[in-house]
Structure 1
Amino acid sequence: MRMIANFSMYPNTVMIGVSHSNRSHFKSTQFPAYTTFDNVILPAYTNINNVIGRRFVHKTSSEVLLERGSNVVSNGQLPNFPSSSYEAAMEKLSSLITRQRRGEKPPLPNKLGRMSMYLKILGLEEDMNRLKIIHVAGTKGKGSTCIFCEAILRECGFRTGVFTSPHLIDVRERFRIDGIDISEDKFLECFWDCWNQLEEKATEQLPMPPLFQFLTILSFKIFTSEQVDAAIIEVGLGGTEDSTNAIKEPTVCGITSLGMDHTEILGDTLGQIASHKAGIFKI
C-alpha cells in the first residue's frame, strides 16, 4: 500500500490517494491558503479485497495524520496501521453483499417475515413501536424529502434520526443524529451488538441478513438507543417488500414523485409501481 500526495496546479488543492494492487483511489480536498500540513487529518481509503461483479467495496481505514516529512514520504511507503474495530466492522458488512442480480427472485423468500425475526432476536420490536417514524417512498426526491423533514423538526427542537441510502464515502453517512453522521464509537457499539446477536442465532433457515437489510436493522437499533423524538426512514426500493416496511405503526407516510424505474421488480406501468410504493401505508 502506498500514499500519493499530488500538490496539483490548482491553488490550495491536494489530491490524496491510497494505491492497492495498481488501483488508486483519490480524494480532492480544498484547504485555506494559510493551512499547513502539520495538523491536517484526512481519511485513507482502502480496498477490502472483496469484489462483487464489477463493484469494489471500500472502507475508511485508520485516519492518517499528514505530518511533514513523516507519513508522506518520498519513497512512496507508508507505515503499517493496525486493523481497528471499525475496519473489522467494514469487512463484516462486505461479507453481507449478495451476488443476486436485480430482478432475480431472492434466494430466501419472505423478507419481511425474516425482518420480524431479526428484530425479535435483538429485542427491538417494542422499542420500534414507541418510535415516531416518518416513512418516505417514491421514485425521485425521497432522500431530499427526508432531509427537509429532519431539518424542520430539528429546527423546532426535536431530537431527530435519519436513515437514507446510499452513502458516498463512509457508511456512517446513512445514519444521522440531529443532522450529524453517527459517531464512530456509537456506530461500533450498535453494530457489534446487532452483529454478535444475529450471528449467534444464525441458521440455514435464518442466515445473516443481506447488506441493506442489516443496515435497516442497524438504523432501528441506533435510533431506539439514541431515543430520538422522530426517526425519518427512506425506503430502499419500492415499498411493499422493502426491508424498511418492517415498520408497523408509522406516524406519517409520504410518497414523492413517481416514475418508470426498477421496472423489472416493480412492474412496467405507473399503476403497478404506485401499488408497490403505497405498500408502506398502514391503516
Structure 2
Amino acid sequence: MNYEESLKYIEETHKFGVRLGLDNIGKLLELLGNPQEKLNIIHVAGTNGKGSTCSFISSVLKEAGYKVGLYTSPFLETFTERIRVNGENVPEEDVARIVTLIKEKIEQMVSEGYSYPTEFEIVTAMAFYYYSEQKTDYVALEVGMGGRYDATNIINKSEVSVITSISLDHIGILGDTVEKIAYEKGGIIKENGTVIVYDQSDAVKNVIKNICKDKNAKYIEVKFDNIEIKQSDIYSQTYDCKVIKKEYKDLEIKLIGDHQINNSMLALSVIEYLKENKNLNISEETIKKGLINTRWPGRIEKIKENPVFIIDGAHNEDGARSLAKAIKKNFEGKKLTLLIGMLEDKDIEGVLEILIPNFNKVITTTPDNTRAISCEVLKEKISKYVDNVVAKPQIEEAVKYTLENACEEDIIISAGSLYMIGTVRTLVNAK
C-alpha cells in the first residue's frame, strides 16, 4: 500500500467502533514481535491536559539529548502528527510500510478467530513498532480513552504513570461519576510502580490512592498552591514554583491559560522524578529551554491577528472552564465571537452554560464526524443564552462568514471539538 491507501485502510476500520479491551491489541503486537516491550514509556492518562503534559515532557527530554517518541490523539491537520520522534512526524512512507505489515498480521489473527482490530488499536500498534525501530530512549504515551482497557495499556511496565485533570467525559463508556472515571484512568498504574497525580478533587485522589494501595504503588501528588505567576498574556506566561524538592524561578511557557502552568508543573514533576530515580542528567537550563520550546497546537492557540483568532479544543466542562477563565483574564471588555461545533456524545449543555455567556455573537457549524450535533440543533440550544446566533453547516462556509463579519479589533474564538478546530486552523492559515 502507498500512504493514501494505508490511511484509507485505517479509516475503514472506524466501522469497528470503540472496543475497550486488551486481547486484540495483545495478539497483534505479539505477531509484530512485541515492540512495546523494548520501550521506556511515560504513560499519561486523564480527561484534560494529557497531550500538553506529554508535549512538555518530550520537549524537555529532547533538549536533554534523548531520542523521544510522542504519541497523541486525535490529530489536528495531518495523520502523521499522532506519531512523532523528537518533534518530527512519522514519514508517510513509514506509515505505508508499517500499515502494510500490520494488515498482513491482522489477516493472520482474524483467520485464527480474533476480532478485527479497531482504528485506535492499529495506530497504537504502528506507533509501538515505529518507536521500537527508531530505538527511542523514551516514549511519552498518551492514553486514548480511559486507561484500564485502553490499547496503550497493553504495556506491562512503565517508567512512571501520570494522571492529569479528571472530569466527566465519555460517560457512556467510562462511567457517569468522576470516581468511576478515575478508576478507569487509574488502571494504567502498574504493580510496584509510581504514579504522579495532578492535584484535584478528593473524590478523584482517593480512588487513585486506593488503586496505589492495592498495587503497592507509590503515589506522588503535584500541588499548585506555591505558584507565583509573574506575567501572563496571549503570547506567553512566566512563573516561579516549587516542584517536589526543587524551586524554580522564571520558568516561561508559550502555552496559554493557568491550566497550562499546572500541566507544565506536572511534566516538571515527572522530569524531577526521572532525574532522581532513573539517573537522568538534566540541567535547569535544559528544562527551561524545553518548556519554552513546547508547542501544542489547538489549545488556546492564537492563529491570526487583526482580528485575533484563537482556536481551542474545549469540548467538556473542565476544558470550557479553562477557556472561560483565559477569556476573562485576557479579553475582558472586548467584543467576542464564538465559532462552535460539537459532538453529540459530549456534555453539550454543561459546556454551553460555561462558555456562551462570555460571547456577543455565536456561529454554529457541524463538525465532519458521524457523532456531530447539527448546527441547527446547536443553534437552538445556544439561543437561550445569546440572541445573535447564526448556523452555517459547512465548516469552510462558517469560517468565511465569521471572518467577513468581524472587525479588526474583534476577538474570534473557535472551540467545541478537536475534530473541527484542526480544519479551522488549516482554513484560517490558508487565507
Structure 2 length-normalised TM: 0.43
- Tell me whether 1:186 sits opposite 2:94 in the alignment: yes
SS at match of 1:166: coil
Q: Note the C-alpha offset of 1:132.
A: 0.5
CA distance in 2, matches of 1:246, 1:196: 21
Within 1, Cα distance between the matches of 2:103 and 2:54?
27
Which residue is 2:176 aligned to?
Answer: 268
Distance 1:111 1:261 in 2: 19
Match of 2:27 among 90, 93, 117: 117
Structure 2 residue 2 is matched with structure 1 residue 90: no
* Amino-acid identity (%): 35
- Match for 2:22: what amino acid? L
Letter of the structure 1 residue corresponding to residue 164 of structure 2: T
Pair 1:155-2:72 in alignment: no
More strand by share: 1
Displacement after TM superposition at 1:204 (Å): 7.0
2:83 pairs with 1:145:
no
Secondary structure at the aligned position of 2:13 is classed as coil
Q: Give the distance between the partners of 1:192 and 1:232, measured in 2 at CA.
A: 25
Cα distance in 1 for residues equivalent to 2:168 and 2:37: 33
Higher helix share: 2
What amino acid is the match of 1:85?
N
**1:161-199 C-alpha deviation (Å, 9 max, x unpaired):** 111000122211100011111111222222222222222
Verify the 8 A CA contact 1:150 1:161 in the aligned structure 2. yes
Give the corresponding residue for 2:138: 230
Contact 1:136 1:142 survives alignment (8 Å): yes
> Amino acid of the residue matched to residue 129 of structure 2?
K
Q: What is the rounded CA distance, in whole Å, between the counterparts of 1:116 and 1:197 in structure 2?
A: 12
Contact 1:122 1:198 in 2 (8 A): no
What's the RMSD between the two structures over aligned residues? 1.7
Does 1:171 pair with 2:79?
A: yes
For each residue in 1:85-118, what CA deviation from the matched residue of structure 2 results, as whole angstroms up to 9, or x when unmatched? 1111122112201264x7xxx5xxx720222111
What secondary structure sits across from 1:217 in the alignment? helix
Residue in structure 2 matching 1:136, options 44, 66, 69: 44
Contact 2:27 2:109 in 1 (8 A): no
Q: Give distance in 2, aligned partners of 1:85 and 1:128.
A: 25
Higher RCO structure, 1 or 2 (CA under 8 Å, sep 6+): 1
Matches for 1:1-283 after TM superposition, within 5 Å: 85-98=2-15, 100=17, 106=19, 111-124=21-34, 127-203=35-111, 205-283=113-191
How many positions carry a matched residue from both structures? 191
* CA offset digits 1:187-232 (Å, max 9, x no partner): 2222222222222332373133110111111110110011100011
Structure 1 SS opposite 2:162: strand
**Gapped regions of structure 1 (runs ≥ 5):** 1-83
**Letter of the aligned partner of 1:90 in structure 2?**
L
What amino acid does structure 1 have at the position aligned with 2:148? Answer: T
Give the deviation of 1:263 after TM superposition. 1.4
1:194 & 1:131 partners in 2: Cα distance? 19
Contact kept, 8 Å, 2:44 with 2:50, in 1: the verdict is: yes
Query: Which ranges of structure 2 fall in alignment gaps of 5 or more residues?
Result: 192-431
TM-score normalised to structure 1 length: 0.64
- SS of 2:54's equivalent in the other structure is helix
Partner of 2:394: none
Mapped contact 2:106–2:116 kept (Cα < 8 A): yes
> 1:144: how far off?
0.5
Instruction: Supply the distance in 1 between the matched residues of 2:8 and 2:93 (Cα, whole angstroms).
Output: 17
- Distance in 2 (CA, whole Å) between partners of 1:142 and 1:189 is 29
CA distance in 2, matches of 1:201, 1:92: 17
Q: Do 1:140 and 1:257's aligned partners in 2 also have CA atoms closer than 8 Å?
A: yes
Q: Please tell me whether the aligned partners of residues 110 and 116 of structure 2 are also in contact (alpha carbons under 8 angstroms).
A: yes
- Inter-partner Cα distance in structure 2 for 1:97 and 1:140: 24
| Bigger shift: residues 236-245 or 202-211 | 202-211
Return 261-270 or 137-146, whichever deviates more.
261-270
Quickly say closer, same or farther: Cα 1:99–1:120, change in 2 above 3 A: closer
**In 2, are the aligned partners of 1:137 and 1:256 still within 8 Å (CA)?**
yes
Structure 1 residues 99 and 202, CA, compared in 2 at 3 Å: closer, same or farther? closer
2: CA distance between counterparts of 1:204 and 1:93? 21
